[in-house]
Structure 1
Amino acid sequence: MRHAARLLAVLLLAVLCLQLWFAGRILLMRAVAPQSTSFQRSEIARLLVEKHQVAWAQQWVDDEQLPRTLKRAVIASEDDGFAGHGGVDWDAIQGAWKRNEKAQARAEARKARAPAKVIGGSTITQQLAKNLFLSGERTLLRKGQELLLTLMLEALLDKRRILEIYLNSVEWGEGVFGAQAAARHYFGRDAARLGSFEAARLAVMLPAPKRFERQPGSPYVMGRAGLIAGRMASAQLP
């Protein structure tokens, strides 16, 4: 029993030290932009293994240089409650859970071999927490750590900084990271010069950038971008 208790104490201490390390990294982000994210490093490794080279585009731009059109478009598309929630949108998670259950039931009824599409309910802060620190595996332990990181981000950074880091580090295509690289890659101009519809097109790509990169002007992207452009005016900025 004593051995088990000591082992448990060591494990709890290790978990606490890990959380303190995460908190320290996040505190540093108040003043220093992250040089890379966990997701980006995993992508570099993948590209080296699969293609033996890394074609990479990323350039940090400060919050003042990020256009309000893009901020509104991403919020309208990805997380319309961003400015008001505490990092987790429980209603969205519940809705996504129900939709996934229905999709799974339909797949089972059809005896489909392919798994049902998983619909997420992650907020911008949750996506940033995952991209910054975590792997892509889907386990309860990883999801729990994502929740803790999300709460840390919300407690230690303000919303404007969270959105600034997100827009500068999120993937917009293979080897294309951040708003500046995306604006130049798809439209040949700086992010600060993006129009409303161009910003909406970039926002639509975020859930599956590698897939949409093949056809950035597809009917789905254009149609969805029109809807997002119409919702941008009501998107609340932090």
Structure 2
Amino acid sequence: MKRLLFWFVKLAFGLLVLSLLLVVLFKFVPVPVTATMAMDENGITKDWEPLADIDRNLVRAVIAAEDGKFCAHDGFDREAIEKAMESNAKGGRIRGGSTISQQTAKNVFLWQGGGYFRKGLEAYFTLLIEKIWGKRRIMEVYLNVAETGIGTYGAEAGAQRYFGKSAASLTPLESARMAAALPLPKERSVKNPGGWLRRHGNTISARIGQVRRDGLDACVYE
């Protein structure tokens, strides 16, 4: 039993060191591939771009759509989590409370799907990237690894696919439509959305100005 415990502790320590090394490495090096990409049966189309080459409209759009408190929280929006838990307890459509930081941690280091074990690892990696990467790097990585369509990953590949242009020159409406599709990129149309999705995209587009005026993206560009 003592020998087994020794090897368990040694393995745990090794995994801890490896996780720290990966987080430090990806602070400076583009993420080459994620578990989601590797398991995608549709192949992978991606093109890493530095944040300086991604239009601010898209940064503001994802903040407006996904995480309005991105610059204010420490990786976790506790109010959103509590509301999600209350909503889910009532049944119906499952509602999430994940921040952009949590989504980035999951996308880069983990796998899709739920479960308390994965959620615990997600919280661990979220704390690490908040402390080691900072907000600007988190946003940069998020916009480069997020699934933006079938077999398509990152802002640049998404912009080229839907609008035939670089992510550096997206309009507010184009950015808003990409942001609106992010939660379900395989199912939501970016180019020709209809009904609720079109209205949702228009709402996000209008909120881009509010993000700019209120400085809700200040931590990304300071």
| Larger of the two Rg values belongs to structure | 1
Of 7, 26, 31, the match for 2:23? 26
Runs of 5+ in structure 2 lacking a partner?
A: none
Give the 3 Å change call, closer, same or farther, for CA 145–232 of structure 1 in structure 2.
Answer: same
Name the Cα RMSD after superposition.
Answer: 1.6
Deviations 1:159-213 (A, max 9, x none): 1111001101100111111111111111111111110111011000011110103
Tell me the matched-pair count.
214
Of 83, 88, 102, the match for 2:71? 83
- The structural deviation recorded for 1:42 is 1.6
Give the 3 Å change call, closer, same or farther, for CA 160–65 of structure 1 in structure 2.
Answer: same
- The structural deviation recorded for 1:9 is 4.1
Give the 3 Å change call, closer, same or farther, for CA 212–146 of structure 1 in structure 2.
Answer: same
Give the 3 Å change call, closer, same or farther, for CA 22–216 of structure 1 in structure 2.
Answer: farther
Identity %: 36
Which amino acid letter does the alignment assign opposite residue 148 of structure 1? Y
1:172 lines up with 2:127 in the alignment: no
Query: Equivalents in 1 of 2:193, 2:73: separation in Å?
Result: 33
Of 48, 61, 65, the match for 2:49? 61
Runs of 5+ in structure 1 lacking a partner?
A: 48-53, 105-115
Give the 3 Å change call, closer, same or farther, for CA 211–151 of structure 1 in structure 2.
Answer: same
Aligned to 2:161: 185
| SS in structure 2 of the partner of residue 211 of structure 1 | coil
Deviations 1:30-86 (A, max 9, x none): 22111111211121xx34xxxxxx3x3211111111111000000110011111111
Aligned to 2:37: 40
Q: Which runs of 4+ in 1 moved over 2 A?
A: 5-13, 213-216
- The structural deviation recorded for 1:6 is 4.3
Give the 3 Å change call, closer, same or farther, for CA 101–215 of structure 1 in structure 2.
Answer: farther
What is the TM-score with the length of structure 2 in the denominator? 0.91
- The structural deviation recorded for 1:233 is 2.1
Query: Equivalents in 1 of 2:160, 2:78: separation in Å?
Result: 36
Give the 3 Å change call, closer, same or farther, for CA 83–155 of structure 1 in structure 2.
Answer: same
| SS in structure 2 of the partner of residue 172 of structure 1 | strand
Of 1, 9, 12, the match for 2:9? 12
Give the 3 Å change call, closer, same or farther, for CA 144–200 of structure 1 in structure 2.
Answer: same
Q: How does 1:150-229 map to 2 (within 5 A)?
A: 150-213=126-189, 216-229=192-205
